[in-house]
Structure 1
């Protein structure tokens, strides 16, 4: 299923609809029929999440799919500290080792591998973040975790052969370094990015939003890495999130079954003989527990039924995630990809996985870019299932002057783009959002990211006042 969201008709401004099932005048009859035929209501937030949302003017907390702490056990291997449940600790994931440096060789590539520290430093300087205590620290994704998507052969090569790392980073001098040093200074930090993305997706499901100050390695697929992307952190994060939700729902169903059994005994006066009809209640609760523990067949928003929408706005086609979607046959992953069709990777085979494709020309400026994005989001609301989670790949290589993205969007345009996606996720999709930073090769990339994140924190009231 591929929908090409083109430019709006002449004289008709692009916009997104106020509700997913309200077609606009520019919608096709087929799209309107699809939206009418398959209405999808968002799953009800758990009481704890709903209560949190009512106290948050930004409104993202009310979109949480699970109560705070529900996923703590499922992510214990990826969270370096205590699982964040209070409002003071934000769902913002960062580790200093995200920043890659190896004797200045990294500067031979236009990618600023130290931009992540610059973003965090700027957010602290501007008072958006009040200190490291508000951040969530991830752990590296182990080779065992990476094997959930990546092949054994590829994992062996990326961890043992310099040439594979050279292919991914496009830095030939790395071939001369000892492999142990290369693993320490390059591959391990990238595994940390993966851990951060996986953790951010889980946090978004509990908190309604999350940001990984890194990640978004959308060119990597099961058997290869490319374009500074060694691992498909997006697909790895999606698959972990599904299992975590299924496990949490299964635990909840088991507790319900135990409670029903206790109630049945109590109703019988403690005699050990259940009251009439109690067996049916126990059996129903037990069946729910079994379904929840079924992994990919979990009920509710769990297991394979967790519908995820990837909004990929990096300047380059996210071909790695797309290849993995096709290889794994993931029918619950939907992709909106808006990219410069005239630059790397030009992967026609991977386009079969894109649900809404927006191809741009080099030099595209703010007005055209933002109008086409609005049209694409409107189309997503009409023709795609309502997502349980939005993964936003927010590359800043769309900036004017970026040597690899070759688009011409202004810093103000990037800020408007990010706010547009977050607002659409909250108001139209009504789904939690996890934001990844992805690519960005212009000198002002880190500064623009910081400005945009500060705007999101301000507009959506993401950082509560101390003691609130």
Structure 2
């Protein structure tokens, strides 16, 4: 399974800044050492036309040229530095590359990504450009994908993604998130599930089961491309998450999502999204478990067991249109 990373370009952050940028390199090193089935590759830089297809030209130019106001930088959470646009374009490039790979092989991943707070004309919540939106629009325009599904299980609501696809039936957005967590002013997506602080495993998994069933009922057509934001921040060890899922609960979350994807056989892009650990190794354990489940599904799709009664739907490529 192809996995794209972009941790070579660090941000220039002040001392004590709470964004854990070191986690990206640590995850890459962990996966390289412990998950040999991954094909780890440095991310390419996203082409500007793809980014401008989602974000306004004025906003993109301000990011590239250092024209963000102090208020805009505070909203994003990072001070502008020449490394900011470089990192942002590679973050989007990782998701674009993973999307190409997923459409060819069924499943691929970005070791970061899930920058779901960025909307057309502004960033926010440590998100500069919205990688999922850019990749979804690229897939629709360049590969003819007609139905996209976003399964956003980061603990924070994907307000930017919801705003970008509001009123667009070709992209369905599902978000399970903390009701009282950031962003404090939510933007309604197609299906939003607000969860109370400290809900724990049982309530979370029950809500997820109901949400996935509701997606099946409401999708206008079967999804051809799915973006799964597998944020680690619902975990009980996360500094900002507050939902209190155990490690076993996080694994059960992923099992449900991958079982749903197994049934629908849509090309899938896995994104690691958020995670603000009190203990880095605990975060890496959760993320590694997610990746291992994804790798098992990739292997199943690319090395299917022989069918006694093959049909056209048995081929992933036929089902996914890829």
Give the TM-score range, shorter chain. Answer: 0.7 to 0.9
State whether residues 258 and 297 of structure 2, in contact with CA within 8 Å, keep that contact through their aligned partners in structure 1. Answer: no
State whether residues 106 and 298 of structure 2, in contact with CA within 8 Å, keep that contact through their aligned partners in structure 1. Answer: no
State whether residues 111 and 439 of structure 1, in contact with CA within 8 Å, keep that contact through their aligned partners in structure 2. Answer: no
- Aligned pairs (5 A) from 1:87-106: 90-97=1-8, 100-102=10-12, 105=14
- Aligned pairs (5 A) from 1:8-87: none
Which ranges in structure 2 are unaligned for 5 or more consecutive residues? 304-322
**CA 209–124 in structure 1, closer or farther in 2 if over 3 Å, else same:** same
State whether residues 201 and 210 of structure 1, in contact with CA within 8 Å, keep that contact through their aligned partners in structure 2. Answer: yes
- Counterparts of 1:165 and 1:425, CA distance in 2: 37
Task: Kindly state the Cα deviation for residue 154 of structure 1 after the two structures are TM-superposed.
Answer: 1.3
State whether residues 158 and 165 of structure 1, in contact with CA within 8 Å, keep that contact through their aligned partners in structure 2. Answer: no
- Aligned pairs (5 A) from 1:311-460: 311-326=151-166, 329-348=167-186, 350-351=187-188, 354-384=189-219, 385-427=221-263, 429-442=264-277, 443=279, 444-458=282-296
More strand by share: 2
**CA 462–194 in structure 1, closer or farther in 2 if over 3 Å, else same:** farther
Task: Kindly state the Cα deviation for residue 220 of structure 1 after the two structures are TM-superposed.
Answer: 0.2
- Counterparts of 1:188 and 1:416, CA distance in 2: 36
- Counterparts of 1:125 and 1:138, CA distance in 2: 19
- Counterparts of 2:128 and 2:298, CA distance in 1: 33
State whether residues 218 and 318 of structure 1, in contact with CA within 8 Å, keep that contact through their aligned partners in structure 2. Answer: yes
| Residue 129 of structure 2: aligned partner | 231
- Aligned pairs (5 A) from 1:99-114: 100-102=10-12, 105=14, 108-114=16-22
| Residue 108 of structure 2: aligned partner | 210
Task: Kindly state the Cα deviation for residue 463 of structure 1 after the two structures are TM-superposed.
Answer: 11
- Counterparts of 1:313 and 1:143, CA distance in 2: 28
Task: Kindly state the Cα deviation for residue 169 of structure 1 after the two structures are TM-superposed.
Answer: 4.2
Which ranges in structure 1 are unaligned for 5 or more consecutive residues? 1-89, 247-301
Task: Kindly state the Cα deviation for residue 216 of structure 1 after the two structures are TM-superposed.
Answer: 0.5
- Aligned pairs (5 A) from 1:146-165: 146-159=51-64, 160-161=66-67, 163=70
| Residue 290 of structure 1: aligned partner | none
TM-score norm. by structure 1 comes to 0.59
| Residue 166 of structure 1: aligned partner | 73
| Residue 115 of structure 1: aligned partner | 23
**CA 381–183 in structure 1, closer or farther in 2 if over 3 Å, else same:** same
Higher RCO, 1 or 2 (CA under 8 Å, sep at least 6)?
1
- Counterparts of 2:72 and 2:300, CA distance in 1: 38
Greater mean alpha carbon deviation, residues 223-232 or residues 237-246: 237-246
| Residue 141 of structure 2: aligned partner | 243
State whether residues 201 and 249 of structure 2, in contact with CA within 8 Å, keep that contact through their aligned partners in structure 1. Answer: yes
1:273-314 Cα distance to aligned partner (Å, 9 max, x none): xxxxxxxxxxxxxxxxxxxxxxxxxxxxx4xxx100100101
